């Protein structure tokens, strides 16, 4: 008990413990189902500290969403995609995304819970939106260099590409129990997981290296949209 109290005096550590506990509870039960008393009990802290740091349960929930996004964006930054050839970087990001979702199922479940709420709480967070800028900048750089090198032969939108990557990584993991049952294959088997990892990498690379469609072959001036959604040069 003494050790817990001493750690609780460290605000950074206290907030981290609350967020890690909240992540598990919100992922499992959602905003409405998670109980504050259980979150603080698992963190070894008091409700008073939770309200001191986060204001209320909804404040904690928004902070937990930000914490989840910070985790994946921080891990992505360590990939150093700018140092890799374009196609290697895109494959590396694809494999990393799959690995991260597999290793952090609570993060996937939390985002699923937020989608059940129509994303209304993540919309409150300027921080969550700002965190995506580094990801999109990295993808824009890979696409630009791929176009320059001639290995990517058509315009690709970074948001569309990331949705493709995330969707391919997410679906088989989040639906593994039903898919295993209906197809009679164990989607949690290590051999299947490794095969799936290779497969989605191959699919993404095949997509980005595909030749232009007839409509895309027409040369038109390209305008890059800034992250706020308005046209302009970056």
- The per-residue pLDDT for range 127-159, each reduced to its tens digit, is 999 999 999 999 999 999 999 999 999 999 999
Q: What average pLDDT does the structure give for the chain? A: 90
| Contact predicate 140/158, CB 8 Å | yes
Q: Which residue's structure tokens are 């990498």?
A: 201
- Pick the closest to residue 87 from 166, 143, 148 (CA basis): 143
Q: What angle do CA 15, 21, 27 make, to 5 degrees?
A: 125
Q: Which fold has domain 66-208?
A: Tetracycline Repressor; domain 2 (1.10.357)
- The per-residue pLDDT for range 96-137, each reduced to its tens digit, is 999 999 999 999 999 999 999 999 999 999 999 999 999 999
Q: Where are the domains of the chain?
A: 66-208
pTM for the model stands at 0.85
Q: What angle do CA 150, 216, 166 make, to 5 degrees?
A: 75
Please check the confidence at residue 225 and state whether its pLDDT lies above 60.
Answer: no
């Amino acid at each position: 008990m003494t050790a817990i109290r001493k750690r609780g005096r460290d605000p950074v550590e206290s907030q981290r413990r609350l967020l890690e506990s909240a992540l598990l509870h919100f992922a499992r039960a959602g905003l409405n189902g998670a109980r504050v008393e259980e979150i603080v009990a698992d963190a070894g802290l008091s409700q008073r500290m939770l309200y001191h740091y986060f204001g209320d349960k909804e404040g904690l929930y928004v902070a937990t969403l930000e914490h989840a996004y910070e985790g994946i964006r921080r891990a992505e930054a360590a990939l150093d995609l700018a140092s890799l050839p374009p196609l290697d970087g895109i494959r590396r990001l694809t494999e990393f995304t799959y690995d991260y979702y597999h290793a952090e199922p609570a993060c996937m479940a939390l985002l699923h819970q937020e989608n059940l709420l129509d994303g209304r709480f993540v919309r409150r967070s300027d921080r969550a939106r700002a965190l995506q800028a580094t990801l999109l900048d990295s993808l824009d750089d890979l696409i630009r260099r791929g176009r320059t090198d001639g290995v990517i032969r058509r315009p690709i939108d970074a948001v569309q590409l990331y949705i493709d990557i995330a969707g391919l990584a997410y679906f088989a993991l989040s639906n593994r129990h039903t898919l295993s049952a209906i197809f009679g294959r164990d989607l949690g088997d290590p051999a299947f997981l490794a095969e799936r990892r290779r497969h989605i990498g191959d699919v993404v690379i095949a997509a980005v290296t595909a030749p232009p469609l007839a409509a895309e072959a027409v040369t038109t001036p390209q305008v890059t949209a800034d992250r706020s959604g308005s046209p302009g040069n970056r």
